[in-house]
Structure 1
Amino acid sequence: MAARAVRTVRSDTPMKEHPMYLAVEFGTISGESLAQNVVAAILYFVIGALVLAAGFGLMDLLTPGSLRHLVFVEYRPNAVAVACGMYSALAIVVVSAIIASSAELGQGLLDAAVYGIVGVLLQGVALVVLEVAVPGRFRDLIEADRLHPSAIATAVVLLAVGGLNAAALS
């Protein structure tokens, strides 16, 4: 219920009461509920970070050399483009997995982890299919010094696979 205030009209006129709403109803505030939600958010974040780390690990296995080194030390543009596509796609999958997970915390965390790992595996399959289906050696492209259009195309394919995977979870 909103608070009611009394307002005075000019001093030469009789006093009248006019309703004026000054407050907002906040309801009951529960510290316990807030604490549970903070713990749940942290646990979902940890699951998401683990899924992203698994995606990085799989990507590192499927590309020549150390992907971390190629991206962050050697600044190879094709490695950066493909890695960005992969991480963006996995982030979409992780967000969808969390949204689609059960309302029960334990089951929800398990759902998010399993859906996330399925997403990682599907991204890996997409990368392998591209390696087989596309002419030339994609693996050689990753180490190239100049950005190649096929790296951008690969990143877009990975985003599309991530989008399809995310939609399948909803």
Structure 2
Amino acid sequence: MNPEIRAAVVEFGTISGESLAQNVIAALLYFAIGVVVLAAGFLMVDLLTPGNLRQMVFVERRPNAVAVACGMYAALATVVVSAIVSSSNELGQGLVDAAVYGLVGVLLQGLALVVLEVVVPGRFRDLIADERLHPAAIATAVTLLAVGGVNAAALS
């Protein structure tokens, strides 16, 4: 074959339907684990803050509730991603690893919120429903991100 023509040829190699199907199933199962962990995190924040967090975030658009919920989601997503990347090559064990590490992440995020409530002056939980963004909401979101980052790094 002419070297110029050979340079233009793209080699795809072999395509494995079995491997593709297994990876699609793994992606769907890891997605389900991620949804469960994020839902658990949302419920945990809802329990630790006054009022209905879902109502405040999605209906009333309270900026403090949105900031804290977003910090929680980003932190837990970091934990779940790290758990998936560092989990076992065996799918079953990997799913268990991701679920356990994700739920430990939820507990650590809850602990971080409780510690903030104890050590920070004033009651942050009372600011969640405010209509104006409060600097404490941003500080709380960043704290949650930091705790999530540390938790994720511990998994690798």
Q: Please confirm whether the aligned pair reaches a TM-score higher than 0.5, indicating the same fold.
A: yes
**Per-residue CA distance 1:46-73 (angstroms, 9 max, x = gap):** 1011100110111110010110001111
**Per-residue CA distance 1:17-61 (angstroms, 9 max, x = gap):** x65313122222111111111001100011011100110111110
* 1:16-95 equivalences in 2 (<5 Å): 20-21=5-6, 22-95=8-81
| TM-score computed with the length of structure 2 as normaliser | 0.96
Structure 2 residue runs of 5 or longer lacking an equivalent are: none
One-letter amino acid matched to 1:70: M
Secondary structure of 1:25's match? coil
Which has a greater percent of helix?
A: 2
Q: How many residues get paired?
A: 155
* 1:92-111 equivalences in 2 (<5 Å): 92-111=78-97
Deviation at 1:147, TM superposition (A): 0.7
Find the partner of 1:132 among 114, 118, 126.
Answer: 118
Deviation at 1:132, TM superposition (A): 0.6
Structure with the larger RCO, 1 or 2 (CA within 8 Å, 6+ apart)? 2
* 1:7-18 equivalences in 2 (<5 Å): none
Distance 1:119 1:148 in 2: 25
Percent identity between the aligned chains?
A: 77
Distance 1:57 1:19 in 2: 61
- Say what the alpha-carbon RMSD is for the aligned residues: 1.1
Distance 1:43 1:60 in 2: 26
Secondary structure of 2:65's match? helix
Secondary structure of 1:27's match? coil
| TM-score computed with the length of structure 1 as normaliser | 0.88
Find the partner of 1:117 among 90, 103, 122.
Answer: 103
